Amino acid sequence: MPENDKQGLSVVTCTAPVNIAVIKYWGKRDEDLILPINSSLSVTLHQDQLKTTTTVACSRNFQQDRIWLNGKEEDINNPRLQSCLQEIRRFSRKRRNTGDSTSDASSVSHKVHICSVNNFPTAAGLASSASGYACLVYTLSQLFGVESEQLSAVARQGSGSACRSLYGGFVQWKLGTQLDGKDSLAEQVESESYWPELRVLILVVSAEQKSVGSTSGMHTSVETSQLLKYRADVVVPSRMEEMIRVIRERDFPAFGELTMKDSNQFHAICLDTYPPIFYLNNMSHRIISLVHRYNQYYGETRVAYTFDAGPNAVIYTLQDHLPEFVQVVRHFFPPEVNGEEFVKGLTVCSADLSEELKRDINMEPTPKGIRYIISTKVCVHAMSTS
Ligand code: DP6
């Protein structure tokens, strides 16, 4: 509920999580409405480690809408921001006209001031548009009294992947078939408590800004990659069904294998794009090798990687295997710093590595190849904090 003072100032603060796709969204069939070419599925990460916090104030004394991101004022006329603001105000008026809304009737015509901050460094190269737009749309909806069923379609128009951050746990974004996009919505597959043993590590390898943003990268892929069409028509429909099944069965080896194959296919499409896009670097390739050698040693998939539009790896594993794998990472990427400076977030117990395991992995260590690790798990949806 908005805080409301006598000056007619209403203020709401909310938070929203980051999500990491295990079936990737890559390509739009409608760039204005942000309608995808394929369905996608993601895992929502814990907000203690990665979240956006947004405060929106609205007042009859404000002259214009304004926005600050991480303390710096940004252009409010950004078309995607404008789409979100217009859509929320439209839904709010519609609800008021039907007499369903309890919020202050005049506030929807007032201007807003928006402040948004991330609890993770933007320089880490982790996607912030998903949590950012999910948080913006959710906070505006709390201020203006918009129903939660409408939010997926609005957040999607800020950034496609943002619609998935409105939900916790395991979330699918169905591509839909309607031209107006009304059925292209995110929905929860299973809640955050469904698979409590699942753990997530983010291996931060580079602070550099990504060379090609997701929006322009996927545009070029749609124009030039034949593999993208094959993926959308043939691969993803059955892969979505299978992914949902293996999550419901909590079948980690199958979940891990599908996750890695989907990440690899997404990066294959990037190479098939003309001119090609390279998101992975040498360190990403080394992490991929390490994960396969580790799994091979045990003869089963215990750890899985996935990469978005950048070189950082996101690792999924089960709690039981976490301490040993983190120790493997420390051994093959000896860090510059140790302790909590290297592994941030949820505590990871220490573990010993057998000489046999180190020998079988058989890789030359790369000192300082990984800057730090964020240890986290699956979590809940966007929520109000005041
Ligand atoms: C590789 O949602 O950032 O992370 O809709 O243009 O804002 P826009 O793109 P965005 O793309 C995310 C791409 C991805 C895969 C994924 O999250 O599914």
- On the 0-12 / 13-18 / 19+ scale of CB atoms within 10 A, 146 is buried
Rounded to whole angstroms, how far apart are CA atoms 127 and 310? Answer: 9
What's the confidence (pLDDT) of residue 5?
61
Distance 218 CA to ligand 1 centre (A): 8
Is the Cβ atom of 270 under 6 angstroms away from ligand 1? no
Cα four-point dihedral sign 353, 359, 363, 368: positive
Is the Cβ atom of 215 under 6 angstroms away from ligand 1? yes
Rounded to whole angstroms, how far apart are CA atoms 292 and 287? Answer: 9
Is the Cβ atom of 214 under 6 angstroms away from ligand 1? yes
Is the Cβ atom of 40 under 6 angstroms away from ligand 1? yes
φ, ψ for residue 118 (rounded to 5)?
Answer: -105, 145
Is the Cβ atom of 127 under 6 angstroms away from ligand 1? yes
Distance 26 CA to ligand 1 centre (A): 7
Is the Cβ atom of 25 under 6 angstroms away from ligand 1? yes
Residue 232: closest CA among 34, 35, 28, 37: 37
What's the confidence (pLDDT) of residue 128?
78
Rounded to whole angstroms, how far apart are CA atoms 220 and 31? Answer: 12
Closest residue CA from atom 14 of ligand 1: 308
Rounded to whole angstroms, how far apart are CA atoms 318 and 104? Answer: 47
Other C-beta atoms closer than 10 Å to the C-beta of 371 total 19
- pLDDT digits (tens), the chain, 386 positions: 466 665 679 999 999 999 999 999 999 999 999 999 999 999 999 999 999 999 999 999 999 999 999 999 999 999 999 999 999 999 999 988 887 665 555 588 899 999 999 998 765 567 679 999 999 999 999 999 999 999 999 999 999 999 999 999 999 999 999 999 999 999 999 999 999 999 999 999 965 665 789 999 999 999 999 999 999 999 999 999 999 999 999 999 999 999 999 999 999 999 999 999 999 999 999 999 999 999 999 999 999 999 999 999 999 999 999 999 999 999 999 998 776 789 999 999 999 999 999 999 999 999 999 999 999 999 877 687 76
Which ligand 1 atom sits closest to the C-alpha of 159? 7
